[in-house]
Amino acid sequence: MTHAALALPSLPPGVLLEAVSPGLDAAVALAVVVPTFRRPALLLRTLTSLGAQDTKRRFAVIVVENDAEGRAGLEAARPLIEAGTIDGMAVVAEARGNCSAYNAGFAAARRILPRLETALIIDDDEAAEPGWIEAHLSALERFGADVSGGPQVPVFEEPGREALADHPVFRPPYEASGPVQALVSSGNVAIRARVLQRMGEPLFDTRFDFTGGGDADLFSRCARAGFRFAWCHEAAVHEVVPARRTEFSWINARALRNGALSTLVQRGRDGRARTLAKSLALALAAPPRSAWAAWRSRSLLIGLYHLQIAAGRLQGEFGRVGEQYRKPDSN
């Protein structure tokens, strides 16, 4: 690779550049955005997995600290970045919320890496398998895609909860690699730079900062813009699931939220009338679908999901969406 001088242009308001690795090269065409919020130990696990990637490509890691006051993630990552152990940079996104963190990471990538071709996202509670980067890039090429997604395999902290991996809240949406019509999660994706250029800034709609769903909204807008999606089952990450996320109250809140968000995203695409019609149709279909799912899975909890989605969609029709990210200690 031909080395190019690294320019440090001004970042958007509220995005602060805090650390840059000494050898970071402006010719780097690949970036990995890692948003973090009050999980320094897990962040180090994520960064370790990135350092173990089986690839000859040079890539820059962009750690995005979203706790502007505590900065625990920044302080955990800073020594690795400043020593060059991790090639990349750390920025602080002063505005709270996952969409704001993603936006800060992509803004930094586009400005500081002018030859950027592809950006990936991995969350700070995830660890990538060694072939993660190469699998995503291969999928983009093989399937002619602009965005590829991969599975977030749950790793339950509480013993004996492994059966929950079959619950729709934790189960990947696809089981095999190939072109797909839609993606819904940004926690494990690769996005070509032309998507970032076309969709503009801010990339994620910050109205979804504390509800989630900014990823589904973005991918819905990308689909309307003509971009293509792929699923890469080989590009797996392993996501730590704390004990509180295995409790019925959390799973119920997440399912209701998912339903409400699907209403909001569809309304932006199809309008209010068609969205309401689908919400009502799903409400009518939910009881038999839930009964069938419960019988087939031998799990009442899994069976309830269709009813919860339907109830959440109706809540969404009235603008009610649970803000699970508002209180991080209970999320």
Output the pLDDT for position 10.
Answer: 84
SS3 content of the chain, % helix, strand, coil (to 5): 45, 15, 40
| Residue with token string 């890539």 | 59
Residues 222, 281: one domain?
no
Residues 94, 175: one domain?
yes
Question: Does the pLDDT at position 184 exceed 60?
Answer: yes
**Strand runs labelled E in the chain:** 15-20, 30-36, 60-65, 88-93, 118-122, 126-128, 147-149, 152-156, 178-180, 188-192, 229-231, 237-241
Residues 67, 32: one domain?
yes
125 within a domain of the structure (yes/no): yes
The DSSP bridge partners found for residue 64 are 35, 91
Question: Does the pLDDT at position 5 exceed 70?
Answer: no
On average, the pLDDT of the chain sits at: 93
Q: What confidence tens digit (pLDDT) does each residue in 8-18 have? A: 778 999 999 99
Residues 40, 175: one domain?
yes
Determine the residue type at 14.
G
Residues 311, 228: one domain?
no
**Strand runs labelled E in 103-143:** 118-122, 126-128
Output the pLDDT for position 146.
Answer: 98
State how beta strands 147-149 and 237-241 pair.
unpaired
Determine the residue type at 253.
A
Structure-model confidence comparison of residues 76 and 324, the more confident one:
76
| Residue with token string 């995203």 | 265
Output the pLDDT for position 116.
Answer: 97
* Residue ending a domain, choose from 244, 273, 290: 244
Beta-carbon count within 10 A of 311 CB = 20
Beta-carbon count within 10 A of 142 CB = 14
Residues 186, 113: one domain?
yes
Phi, psi of 157 (to 5 degrees): -70, -35
Output the pLDDT for position 301.
Answer: 93
* Residue ending a domain, choose from 244, 265, 296: 244
6 within a domain of the structure (yes/no): no
43 within a domain of the structure (yes/no): yes
Residues 205, 303: one domain?
no
Residues 178, 325: one domain?
no
State how beta strands 118-122 and 30-36 pair.
parallel
4 within a domain of the structure (yes/no): no
2 within a domain of the structure (yes/no): no
Residues 318, 215: one domain?
no
Residues 231, 280: one domain?
no
* Residue ending a domain, choose from 212, 244, 276: 244
276 within a domain of the structure (yes/no): yes
Residues 95, 220: one domain?
yes
Domain count along the chain? 2
Q: Which domain holds residue 163?
A: 15-244
Question: Does the pLDDT at position 37 exceed 70?
Answer: yes
139 within a domain of the structure (yes/no): yes
Question: Does the pLDDT at position 2 exceed 50?
Answer: no
Output the pLDDT for position 325.
Answer: 72
224 within a domain of the structure (yes/no): yes
- The mean-pLDDT minimum among 45-54, 291-300, 314-323 falls in 314-323
H or E stretch including 125? none
